[in-house]
Amino acid sequence: MTPPKAVYIHIPFCATKCHYCDFTAYVVEGQPVDDYLDALAKEIEMTVRDAPPEQLESIFIGGGTPTVLTPVQMKKMLDIIQTYFPERAPAIEYTMEANPGTTTPELLAVIRDGGVNRLSFGAQTFEPHLLREIGRSHGVSEIATSVKEARTAGISNISLDLMFGLPNQSLDQMRDTLERAVALSPDHFSCYSLKVEEGTLFYHLEERGQLPLPDEEVEYGMYQLIRDYLLQQGYAQYEVSNFSKQGRESKHNSTYWKNESYYGFGAGAHGYVHGTRHVNVKGISEYVSRIDRGERPILQQEKIPLQEQMENYFILGLRLLEGVSLQQFKQQYGQPADHVFGDAIETLVNKQFLRVEGDIIRLTEQGLLFGNDVFVQFLY
């Protein structure tokens, strides 16, 4: 098996915690950030010693909010990455997640000098009261400012995250958000629907019946609006939640969808290296102390059985509108897809959820809207 060509690094710190967030992320104040970065360096060192990298095609620094690091800490982190992953493809995609309002010109300069060439801003919505309601720490004007400053600093590849299905959000508000977002002319959009996860403030509110989510019909309308509007504005949908200008599809995320391997470092990070998936411990002090003891900070790991790998190939791959290749499946797993999933594929084609065109299987329009019903068919 070839070494991963992608690296994910998790920075689990934020200025504040958003009301919907259940990712590994802690309010940064009082956290031992420098210890964490030292531990991160050691984790990377331990990992690449066993599984050395070749030339990388993408790096993704996510969170949390990586941009809550100070310029000094930021430089330290980027230097660590440079040290252990020096070999990079010329067209490498090097992304950092950022929150509007956290990117000072000084910090942006450090980020740019460290090699980052793509910023993904968590804009979420352009409705001021909605931003407050979901617990974001920035305002609307900071989105535009941050995008502009990023470009000024020389980072031209910009993605915006938007959310829909927020409490009391209306279709008109969604349209307004889209118009304002497109006006900033980013290269890429990720549009996620709010999912209420256990352990979040929203979960508790929903339990008590105090979370006025839009009904399904409205949420459906928003999704279709997003798709129509972005397409009309020159952003092609290439995945269930992702849209881009020509050639600006996220290479890093495509790693996940194509079921390819990737390194994952940091507290709570997931990795998939040489056929084994793992997730790291989530607590900062546990993460740091495990590494101080010379251990890898792995919470759980599992060698993925062949059946599950094959399932994932479809479950993940079909999220991409370009579809999956049957030929490639056969090359990868040594047997034709219709031996394993013949029934599922036939059922789904009959339901007009899937379309087969030569070597390619892809979702139909209906299949895209009922993606879960498609994917579930591939589970053993």
Member of 51, 201, 360, 369 binding other proteins (CB under 8 A): 369
How many chain residues are in contact with other proteins, going by CB under 8 A? 36
The interface region with other proteins, picked from 33-41, 199-207, 338-346, 370-378 by CB under 8 A, is 370-378
Q: Tell me the closest approach of the beta carbon of residue 130 to other proteins, in angstroms.
A: 18
Of the pair 238, 272, the CB lying nearest other proteins is at 272
Among 84, 223, 243, 265, binds other proteins (CB under 8 A): 223
**Per-residue x/- marks for other proteins, 307-346, CB under 8 A?**
-----x--xx------------------------------
Q: Is 253 in the site for other proteins (CB under 8 A)?
A: yes
| Token code pair at residue 217 | 């019909």
Residue 84 sits in the site that holds other proteins (CB under 8 A): no
Choose the binding region for other proteins from 140-148, 178-186, 287-295, 369-377 (rule: CB under 8 A). Answer: 369-377
Cα dihedral 305, 311, 315, 316 sign: positive
Amino acid at 149: E
How far apart CA 81 and CA 96 sit, in angstroms, is 13
Q: How far is the CB of 30 from other proteins (least distance, A)?
A: 26
198 counts as binding other proteins under rule CB under 8 A: no
How many Å apart are CA 239 and CA 312, to the nearest integer?
A: 16
Question: Which of these segments, 33-41, 74-82, 143-151, 368-376, binds other proteins (CB under 8 A)?
Answer: 368-376
Helices (H), the chain: 33-50, 71-84, 105-113, 128-133, 141-153, 171-183, 201-207, 216-232, 251-257, 284-292, 306-317, 326-333, 337-350, 365-369, 371-376
**Nearest 10 degrees: CA dihedral of 77, 80, 84, 90?**
60
Between residues 76 and 242, which has the closer beta carbon with respect to other proteins? Answer: 242
Give residue 255's identity as a one-letter amino acid code.
Answer: T
**Under rule CB under 8 A, residue 368 binds other proteins:** yes
| CB 336, CB 330: distance < 8 Å | yes
256-275 positions binding other proteins, by CB under 8 A: 256, 262, 264, 269-272
Nearest to 258 by CA among 249, 245, 246: 249
For residues 166 and 175, what is the distance between their CA atoms, to the nearest angstrom? Answer: 14
* Helix count and strand count (H, E) for the chain: 15, 17
Beta carbon nearer to other proteins, 112 or 296:
296
- Judged by CB under 8 A, does residue 235 bind other proteins? no
Stretch that binds other proteins, among 47-55, 104-112, 323-331, 362-370 (CB under 8 A): 362-370
Q: Which two tokens stand for residue 9?
A: 């690094």
Residue 210: partners with Cβ closer than 8 Å, 6 or more residues away = none
Binding mask 44-83 for other proteins (x = CB under 8 A): ------------------x---------------------
Q: Is the dihedral of CA 98, 273, 321, 368 positive or negative?
A: negative
The only residue of 50, 87, 198, 216 in contact with other proteins, by rule CB under 8 A: 216
Positions that interact with other proteins (CB under 8 A)? 8, 23, 62, 190-193, 195, 216-217, 220, 223, 240-241, 253, 256, 262, 264, 269-272, 277, 279, 312, 315-316, 368-373, 375-376, 379
